[in-house]
Amino acid sequence: MAGSMKGLEANWKQRADGARARAEAAINELQIKGAKINFNSVAKTSGVSKSFLYDDRTTRERIEQLRLAEVCKEMNNRARYDKTSKSKDVIIAAKDRRIAKLEEENKKTKS
């Protein structure tokens, strides 16, 4: 009986290693494509179950880290866009004040 357990454990370890390798290959493929990396996309690409991805600590940490990096990059892009739109608003307001001042001077010179 102990021999059969060793065989089962070896088979389980081999299957887990294969699933881990497929998940890693899927992560690399998604990175190359520039696709979003999350548990669902890795599971679909690799053919590995989501429960395996959540249960396997190293794979889970890697996916969470990459997902967080994507979110941070997206937030930085939004912040950069907000800064440029705010600076445009400031420039437009300054030009409006300058136009109003010049129009006032123009009225004074005409009178």
Terminal CA-CA length for the chain:
110
pLDDT tops 60 at residue 22: yes
pLDDT tops 90 at residue 34: no
Predicted confidence band of residue 29 (pLDDT cuts 50, 70, 90):
very high
pLDDT of residue 63: 93
The continuous run of DSSP H or E covering 80 comes out as: helix 57-110
CA–CA separation, 53 and 76 (whole Å): 28
Predicted confidence band of residue 83 (pLDDT cuts 50, 70, 90):
low
At 89-102, the pLDDT tens digits run 788 888 889 999 99
